Homo-oligomer: A and B are copies of this chain.
Amino acid sequence: MSFPPKTPARFAPARTVGLIGFGAFGRLIAHHLAPHARLRAYDPVVAADAFGPDAEGVDLATAAACPFVILATPVPTLRTVARAIAPHLRPGALVADVGSVKVVPAAILRAELPAQVDILATHPLFGPQSARDGIAGLTVAVCPVRGRRSLRAAAFLRRVLGLAVVVTTPEAHDREMAAVQGLTHLIAKVLVRMEPLPGRAGGRRMTTRSFERIMEAVDMVRHDAPEVFSAIERQNPFAPEVRRRFFALAAELEAELDAADAPGAPRLALVR
């Protein structure tokens, strides 16, 4: 998708965006918002002059005083961050987070941010890896938590950035992601721990398309920050149930295969 370079007029008054958190995902946000907005970024471990060309390094209070504030910090830090920015937020501002889960963050932001601030909980379903070739056409889930500005921000994501915007609720999001992300990261984690995998050694001469697909999935998430795995598996209220089913069915299959291998079952000897 492509759009005319001009930003629709109604976004014009609110073009300054405060970005809290300048990790891998914060930098991705800065890269894609820089053509459309003035970015003021704060990160406790990034020096003010080290934000590069896309964002101006500022202090927390300055970033929090922008009309749009994006929180790109790990989910476990969200309550602390929300409390820290709350005194500096302007009435009528919009605060958005970008965490991989939505039930817990939405509840934290609703509880911690002043009533005059609008809230949009978002989950961009991509990361630096999958966004390597651009973000147009990629999916972002958005949960309007409070206020009318949140839907305008969703329109911006769709019309200006070209994202596929799925409007949902935190609960519906987390239920679905418990399978989509929970299973992907679980399987990837186990396979990474099994490495080196014989099929990948020696240039993978002998491989199957299906195994290649699985290893492509592993490669997409293997460099994710540990906080991403932790958020997906531990801060999604529906993840434990999906995980339990996966492990229970795996154990069931293991028992079936063991039974088939047991004495009395048809056997084929190892012959050299």
Chain B nearest Cβ from A132, distance in angstroms: 11
Chain B nearest Cβ from A91, distance in angstroms: 25
Q: Given the complex, which residues of B lie within 8 Å of A271, measured CB to CB?
A: 103-104, 107
Alpha-carbon gap, A197 to B191, bound state (A): 21
Number of copies: 2
A10 beta carbon closer than 8 Å to chain B: no
Please state if B209 and A166 are interface contacts (CB–CB under 8 Å): no
Interface residues of chain A, those whose CB is within 8 Å of chain B, are 76, 103-104, 107, 125-126, 130, 139, 141, 166, 168, 171, 173, 175-181, 183-184, 186-191, 193-194, 197-199, 205-211, 213-214, 216-218, 220-221, 230, 233-235, 237, 240, 242-243, 245-247, 249-254, 257, 260-261, 266, 268, 270-272
A125-B207, A173-B206, A213-B214 known; 8 new pairs, CB 8 Å cut-off, are A76-B268, A139-B207, A171-B272, A193-B249, A194-B249, A213-B220, A217-B217, A247-B251
